Structure 1
Amino acid sequence: MKFLGNKQWVAAFMAILLTASLIVQPNTVEAALDLEAESAILVDAESGKVLYQKNIDAILPTASMTKMMSEYLILEAIDEGRISWDQQVPISDWVRTLSHQTALSNVPLRQDLVTYSVRELYESVAIYSANASTIALAELIAGSETEFVNQMNEKGAELGLEDYEFVNSTGLNNRDLQGNHPDGTGDEAENMMSARATAKLAYALLRDYPEVLDTASIPMKDFQAGPDEVIPMENWNWMLSSIRPQHDYDGIDGLKTGYTSAAGNAFTGTAERDGLRLISVVMRTDTRDDRFNETRKLMDYGFNNFSTVDLYDDGYVVEGEETVPVVGGKEREVSISSSEALSAVVRNGQDDQYSATLVLDQDKLNKDGELVAPFEAGEAVGSLTLTSEGEDEQFLYADQQDGVTMVTDTAVEEAGWFTKMMRGIGGFFSGIWNAAVNTVSGWFS
């Protein structure tokens, strides 16, 4: 066997390393995250695109992140006019008793001398995670916490959460409710969701009620518990400015923390920079500090490695598919183009890995694939969707994808009776001529 000299051996070894590095291309950025959380997810809040995931379908206790669903139902009740911000909220005996349990997150509530508005109690929920306040609002909206929890589970199905179970409105362990937990739920039951389901809930909350951030972003506010009793409410989200300087994070403005002994420390965060809003979820971290440290890693990963890019301009025309045939109109076809620029959140430097595909809406066309006149300019006829040639892209929901609407560039009026008649006659003779040509051709074949 012939051995290489030292210099040749070193050169060969370096070549092997270089070749291996080119063949095996691990996602070093994701690997470097090394998240100290049992489950985590990072999502683009606009499209629902998943940018990072770790064990996202494990169903775990959610603790007070549960209150995002309670907030959704509160804001929905406001939006539908079933309750109002200035409405006074009755305080039941159980709510008053629970509100004075200082071992739990609460503001003390009274049944005499002072009343509380929906807005005041909602602020105590969104800022201070007040448990008794949550139940008071649940009772106001649904008549009982039991019925409110039924509504929570129904809304979860409506929002397509899939991996979830709500057993109370607060996220507390049922055993902390001293036998006053909602009917039909066990003494030891906990609210449960996967990181994917939690991200779906946050995504829906921000989409449907973005005003949730107006309150969730308040670092500190006083609560008037009684005539001479002011409770300072420090937001449990320490990443907001001025609460814990070591955790300050530029752009963060929500959303909800959680802790129970079973859930550990958890946090659903959201932040926006340069028009890009991200949603993060970390579940089962060891300490309160950890849930923010791990969220920082996720957010940094997202903002440092992804950007919103306009991949195709407004008015984009797909080559070879510039028009759609028209029937019954003054024109036989109409040009189509994209209604707006097609943008997407993409990994930096990978813009060229995307291509656009035209998908026509078959419900808008007849059986022959024609658009039936008359119609106006801007008539939606389908969509322009993105396909990635790089890494497999995932979204929160199976039917989500990056895309924009394709529309008609001009209006097409219905053809007059004479035009239709002449076209019919032309079609008739054209059919006869084609049949004759085919017959004669058959004689000589």
Structure 2
Amino acid sequence: MFKKLVQYVMVGLLAIAPVGGLLSAQTTKVAAASTPVSLPTTPQIDASAAIALDPATGQVLYEQNADQALPIASMTKMITAYIVLAQIKQGKLTWEQTVKPDDLIYQLSQNKDLTNVPLQADGQYTVKALFQAMMVASANDAAMMLANQVAGSQKDFVDLMRQKVADWGIQDAQLYSVSGLNNEFLGAEVYPDSPADAENEMSAADVALVAQKLLADYPEILETTKQAHFTFGAQTSDETAMSTWNLMLPGENNAPQDYVVDGLKTGTTDKAGDCFTGTATKDGQRILTVVMHANGEDTGRRFIETNKLMQYVFDGWEQKQLAQANQSLAPYKTATVKYGRQKTVQLITNKAISMWVPKGTTAANIDWHYQAVKGGAKRQLEAPIKKNVQIGQVMPQLNGVTTQYIGQAPQSQLRTKTADPKANLFVLIGEGIKEFFTNLF
């Protein structure tokens, strides 16, 4: 017994050493909040797939068959646009550079059954004009010219597209063309060894992730996509007035009355049907939606279904701040400190925490999920503990709702607001003796 007592006294002495202990990270959850959240009535979207989310965080607010890969048509051009904008940012491409169509692209531009801009066989067109034509008028020939300028060939640009979506964690994309056209229209430019009728496919969730990346990294894209009309080749022999396919823009046939749509990309093929990736703002809050293969007889069916989805989010949900920066959270106000003078330290958030919640949600509807970085699930630290040390991460969760995110779910840090040095030698020895007798009995 004396030997064991000495061991516990030595525990107290060893606690004087400057290095504290670390426990493996664990995840814990507070007891469920007392009141389940009341969800708004879910709309029925007449389409093969649909999704709505907060583009800032990736929080999913609605989903319908969002994981099935389906044809995406000209929504493909968002990937093309991302790569072009990256090239411009890196200085490898400029807006003023001119591009000449090759023979295949020129021939394609003469096909009146496809969406193109009129080109001259020996014409020279700026990157800016082609980009505008691609994103506003959905010009396939413009997308192909940009791809050739960036990568040298359609095949090599598709390889860049495949690598980019893989970098974003998209695993099931099938990409064959830079524009979204079916292989039957591409002649000698079809991707090597691809099926004769191959067409780009992705899930609604993956299309939303592409749009989220585009908005996050190049928000200036909206300066282009909010344009309803523009002139291609102004003051040249190719001067052509062109209009958007996005009929939800202000002033267009399907423009909503109580929120503003300013992007992003339509898509239509026989396989894909009528598709639309849209983004809109109301009261300073932005949402992102994807509707794939909208059904119905109305020619504006993709916009009708998109409006149902956007109206559902804006009417029933709101972005709400749940905690301020440097605030204590009720379940996680303190952590215990072994061998410390004060025995505890106060914990605070490192930043303000917000999420989209159904209107009428209160603090009673919120659970807080915690993941330890230091101290394990019980948040027991070992002195000395400094001020402003991260000990874990927290994330809000709606009671009764499985909150989903595309991409990485956002997390906020819990950090120490106060410090706690080690207790003096005699206190540590006393704690060792106390621990001995506690474990003995």
Same fold (TM over 0.5): yes
Letter aligned with residue 77 of structure 1: Q
- C-alpha distance in 2 between matches for 1:164 and 1:104: 24
Q: Residue 250 of structure 1: which of 253, 259, 270 is its match?
A: 259
Residue 12 of structure 1 corresponds to which residue in structure 2? none
1:65 aligns with 2:83: no
- C-alpha distance in 1 between matches for 2:118 and 2:344: 70
1:304 aligns with 2:315: yes
1:161–1:201: 8 Å Cα contact kept in structure 2? no
1:41–1:280: 8 Å Cα contact kept in structure 2? yes
* Local SS of the residue matching 1:46: coil
- C-alpha distance in 2 between matches for 1:55 and 1:433: 60
- C-alpha distance in 2 between matches for 1:248 and 1:234: 21
- C-alpha distance in 1 between matches for 2:235 and 2:319: 49
- Aligned pairs, number: 402
- 1:391 deviates by 2.9
Residue 158 of structure 1 corresponds to which residue in structure 2? 167
1:49–1:396: 8 Å Cα contact kept in structure 2? yes
- C-alpha distance in 1 between matches for 2:387 and 2:124: 56
Question: TM-score if structure 1 supplies the norm length?
Answer: 0.80
Unaligned runs of 5+ in 1: 1-25
Q: Residue 412 of structure 2: which of 404, 407, 418 is its match?
A: 404
Question: TM-score if structure 2 supplies the norm length?
Answer: 0.80
- C-alpha distance in 2 between matches for 1:63 and 1:204: 19
- Check 1:432–1:43 CA distance in 2 against 1; reply closer, same or farther (3 A cut): closer
Letter aligned with residue 289 of structure 2: S
- Check 1:324–1:363 CA distance in 2 against 1; reply closer, same or farther (3 A cut): closer
Q: Residue 57 of structure 2: which of 39, 47, 53 is its match?
A: 47
Residue 31 of structure 2 corresponds to which residue in structure 1? none
Letter aligned with residue 91 of structure 2: G
Residue 14 of structure 2 corresponds to which residue in structure 1? none
1:222 aligns with 2:231: yes
- Check 1:320–1:229 CA distance in 2 against 1; reply closer, same or farther (3 A cut): closer
Letter aligned with residue 427 of structure 1: L
Higher relative contact order (CA 8 A, sep 6+): 2
Residue 288 of structure 2 corresponds to which residue in structure 1? 279
Alignment of 1:380-399 (within 5 A): 380-397=390-407, 399=408
* Local SS of the residue matching 1:370: strand
Out of 117-126 and 335-344, give the one that drifted further: 335-344
Unaligned runs of 5+ in 2: 1-37
1:240–1:248: 8 Å Cα contact kept in structure 2? no
- Check 1:83–1:334 CA distance in 2 against 1; reply closer, same or farther (3 A cut): farther
Letter aligned with residue 120 of structure 1: A
2:40–2:316: 8 Å Cα contact kept in structure 1? no
- 1:120 deviates by 1.6
- C-alpha distance in 2 between matches for 1:68 and 1:261: 20
Identity %: 31
Out of 383-392 and 295-304, give the one that drifted further: 383-392
- 1:86 deviates by 2.3
- 1:318 deviates by 3.0
Residue 13 of structure 2 corresponds to which residue in structure 1? none
Letter aligned with residue 65 of structure 1: M
Q: Residue 348 of structure 2: which of 314, 328, 337 is its match?
A: 337
Residue 322 of structure 1 corresponds to which residue in structure 2? 333
- C-alpha distance in 1 between matches for 2:435 and 2:381: 23
- 1:433 deviates by 7.4
